Amino acid sequence: MVTIKLQNLIDFVADVFAHADSSPEEAKRIATYLTTANLTGHDSHGVIRVPVYIRWKKMGSVVPDQIAEVVVDTPSLAVVDGKFGYGQTVTPQAVRIGIEKCKKAGLAAIALRNAGHIGRVGDWAEMAAAEGLVSVHFVNAAGSLLVAPYGGVEKRLSTAPYCVGIPRQGQDPIVLDFATSIVAEGKVLVASRGGKKLPKGALIDADGTLSEDPAVLYGPHSAEGPRDHTKGTGAIRAFGEHKGSGLAFICELLGGALTGTGATAPDRRFANGMLAIYIDPKVVDTSNFFDGEISRYTDFIRATKPVAGVDRVLIPGDPERRMRAERTKNGVPLPDDTWAAIVNTAREVGVSEVSIQRAVQ
């Protein structure tokens, strides 16, 4: 493992994207969002994505410094085309539109289509919560066939994330953010690069055999080489049997089909679609009951007697808060294989050896 100081990691990743045709502002924004994912413990959506993003950029699958286009605009709804810009650039543009509409109308919906990888969806729930708004997000990834539906062995779904953010008065928001697969594809990527191993039976091979070997998804691969999920014979499994598979199906229809991104298919260009709904609690909750009831119920849940081997019962966001504090203080740990792949990508785009050495100081 190599541990990188927070600001060093942000600066280094920003340098990579600045050398790959992103403006300094976009490069810093991508680096900050990716590093934030690592800070919260979601390494699957963190800087391990740098080689993937740069490969997509070279392929023309993602376009630097795009300005999202509003193609439908009503007082409470907008359809926003990200034009295949980096998700860390076009998604906050779309979320800002949703926030502004919700503050005027009390309720709003945004359909974002054709966005590059939007990263940790919780970032966008947190952005809305910072403005005092509840948000619900249905997301898909067109062209990203990764997950077998319940009862099947073939890839038919993306990891189809679902997320809800709830603001708190004077406290961190409650954010529920998960892939509808047993693990996000990024966690398979992490495991393949020397990181945390996959849960038992997270993958399923073509013959129905359950597995934890990333080669089932990616096929044979070298330690530092690229990962291509089209090369493997198997798939990630949906979580919760028919329930997770059903929720993934709905995310494909709402985040993909309804937004215009398209539900995932083998011949589609990669893009995230997101249907986001925003609610202003101040409009709904005229008696100011909501926040106090959240506190009461949160305490009630946390006071549950834990099972053997569990220190305490948590609510969504608790692990992330703890990890953010630890890694902000001590730095971000990265497996050697992950760091080597990032460094190789940095060299490919022309980042200097001085910058690479500075990152690990």
CA–CA separation, 158 and 83 (whole Å): 20
* Helix/strand/coil for 151: coil
On whether residue 20 sits in a domain, the answer given is yes
Same domain? 80 vs 170 = yes
Confidence band of 308 (pLDDT split at 50, 70, 90): very high
Nearest-Å Rg of the Cα atoms of the chain is 20
On whether residue 33 sits in a domain, the answer given is yes
CATH code of the domain in which 84 resides:
3.30.1370.60
Q: What's at 78, amino acid-wise?
A: A
Same domain? 31 vs 54 = yes
Domain boundary among 247, 266, 284: 284
On whether residue 13 sits in a domain, the answer given is yes
Domain boundary among 252, 284, 316: 284
Same domain? 52 vs 17 = yes
Confidence band of 267 (pLDDT split at 50, 70, 90): confident
On whether residue 88 sits in a domain, the answer given is yes
Same domain? 17 vs 155 = no
Return the closest-CA partner of residue 336 out of 194, 191, 240: 194
Residue 341 has which token pair? 């792949």
Same domain? 12 vs 80 = no
Q: What is the pTM of this model?
A: 0.94
Same domain? 162 vs 264 = yes
Tell whether the model's pLDDT for residue 256 goes beyond 90: yes
On whether residue 188 sits in a domain, the answer given is no
Same domain? 105 vs 242 = yes
Same domain? 128 vs 258 = yes
On whether residue 254 sits in a domain, the answer given is yes
User: Which residues, 6+ apart, have CB-to-CB distance to 303 below 8 Å?
Assistant: 313
Predicted local confidence at residue 18, as pLDDT: 98
* Pure H helices in the chain: 6-18, 24-39, 50-59, 87-105, 122-129, 185-192, 215-218, 242-251, 281-284, 290-302, 318-330, 336-349, 353-359
Secondary structure (DSSP) of 312-348: ----TTHHHHHHHHHHHHH-EEE-HHHHHHHHHHHHH
Predicted local confidence at residue 164, as pLDDT: 98
Q: What is the bridge-based pairing of β-strands 203-204 and 210-211?
A: antiparallel
User: Which residues, 6+ apart, have CB-to-CB distance to 266 below 8 Å?
Assistant: 143, 145
Same domain? 98 vs 47 = no
Same domain? 346 vs 242 = no
Confidence band of 226 (pLDDT split at 50, 70, 90): confident
User: Which residues, 6+ apart, have CB-to-CB distance to 357 below 8 Å?
Assistant: none
For residue 19, give the DSSP letter: T
Full domain range(s) for residue 342 = 2-62+331-359
Confidence band of 361 (pLDDT split at 50, 70, 90): confident
On whether residue 224 sits in a domain, the answer given is no
Same domain? 147 vs 262 = yes
Domain boundary among 251, 284, 317: 284
Per-residue pLDDT tens over the stretch 22-61 = 999 999 999 999 999 999 999 989 999 999 999 999 999 9
On whether residue 303 sits in a domain, the answer given is no
Same domain? 58 vs 73 = no
Tell whether the model's pLDDT for residue 177 goes beyond 90: yes
What's the structural domain count of the chain? 2
CA–CA separation, 125 and 121 (whole Å): 7
What would the mean pLDDT of 66-93 be, rounded to a whole number? 98
| Strand ordering across the sheet containing 203-204 | 147-148, 235-237, 203-204, 210-211
* Helix/strand/coil for 199: coil
